[in-house]
Amino acid sequence: MAPIAASPMPLLAWSCAQVALAAAGTCLARRYALRRRLLDHPGERRSHRVATPRGGGVAIVACLLVTALALSWWYPGERMLLLAGGAGLLLVAAVGWIDDHRALSAGLRLAMHAVAGLLLGAAVLHAGHGPLLAASGVLATLVLVNVWNFMDGIDGLAASQGAIAAIGYGVLASAGPEGGAAVVLAFSLGAACLGFLPFNFPRAAIFLGDVGSGALGLALAWLLVLLAPRLEQGPAHWALLLLPLSAFLVDAALTLGTRMLRREAWWRPHVQHAYQCWARRIGRHPPVTLAYAAWSGAAVLTMLATRGLDARYIIAAAAAWCLAGGWAWAILRAGASPPGKEQAHE
């Protein structure tokens, strides 16, 4: 059987099937969460006012695992990377699923995330790539799994950002001479997020939960590892690939850095991210989610437009983009009311 990435129509059919699978899985996950009373309750460190089921991200995990198994058959040359990424995804999702049911320690969660990253890094070395890419895969796993967990705080934000980045990576991979498994994995992730989003935006009927937010971060790190060797632009390819993630990376890095400087317990839940401050000030989530989506959509277009440029211009464009994001972060945080004065709803 020929790989579905070889022709647009089979890829479109596969993506539509992933949308339907994710939507059906989210319905089942919501019924399960309601039956088990698996709810996120409002509180001082949360941005919603209504008790809401969590764990809907398990549907996205199911879609990606099906895709990984299919791709390991279609692309035997990339089988180790695909199976290692799938195993890491399953590990991160399992830890998140348990944590959604009963709280686990931050140290244990981080240790499991590290194991998932090491699996991906080992597969990179086994595939014949250098230690730099392997180390980058481990680091990307640790960073993105936790960034997506930190930034999953208002309706539709984490899933929409995952969808935009994934679709952007799919288009980028399709533009190359041979996108391989990365094309299918990217569009599958985007499709799964789109199948979940109607249940999470504009008003959430279910949240991703740790099972979903962690899985999104792992899947994006997995895509980065698959895509980086195809760009052939040296260190500049990382600047290029990080553009679609810039909204989350800038917000998370500056917010957590500020908390560290204040000697606060930065790993604990809080409502100090720029998106939380903005949502709290206006009392609504959809405008914030849509604004972040517009930023990331523009970042994807920038990534695609600058791909063929000299490495110096790519790095300069990425640096300017992140500086603009930092400026926007400062404005949003400066104009926000203190936590507790206003509470947005989900």
pLDDT tens profile 53-66: 999 999 999 999 99
Mean pLDDT across 291-315: 94
Residue type (1 letter), 145: V
Q: How confident is the model at residue 123 (pLDDT cuts 50, 70, 90)?
A: very high
DSSP 3-state of 277: helix
Do 161 and 247 touch, CB atoms closer than 8 A?
Answer: yes
Token match 């934000």: residue? 157
Q: What is the pLDDT of residue 50?
A: 85
Helix (H) or strand (E) holding 114: helix 106-126
Supply the mean pLDDT for the chain. Answer: 91
Output b/e per residue, 229-263; b: 16+ Cβ within 10 A.
ebbebeebbbbbbbbbbbbbbbbbbbbbeebeeee
Q: How confident is the model at residue 48 (pLDDT cuts 50, 70, 90)?
A: low
Domain-wise residue ranges, the chain: 4-334
Write out pLDDT tens, residues 256-272.
Answer: 999 999 998 888 888 89
For residue 91, the model assigns a pLDDT of 98
> In this predicted model, what pLDDT tens digit does every residue of 5-23 receive, in sequence order?
656 778 999 999 999 999 9
SS3 state of residue 201:
coil
Residue 346: what pLDDT? 37
- Which residue in this structure is represented by tokens 């972040």? 292
8 A C-beta contact, residue 315 and residue 236: yes
Backbone φ and ψ of 259, nearest 5°: -65, -35
pLDDT tens sequence across 180-208: 899 999 999 999 999 999 999 999 999 99
pLDDT score at 335? 56
- Whether the pLDDT of residue 134 is over 90: the answer is yes
pLDDT of residue 340: 45
pLDDT at residue 32 above 80? yes
* Per-residue pLDDT tens over the stretch 79-110: 999 999 999 999 999 999 999 999 999 999 99
pLDDT given at position 2 = 55
Residue 337 scores a pLDDT above 70? no
pLDDT value for 44: 63
Reading the block at residue 157, the tokens are: 């934000």
* Confidence grade of residue 154 (pLDDT, cut at 50, 70, 90): very high
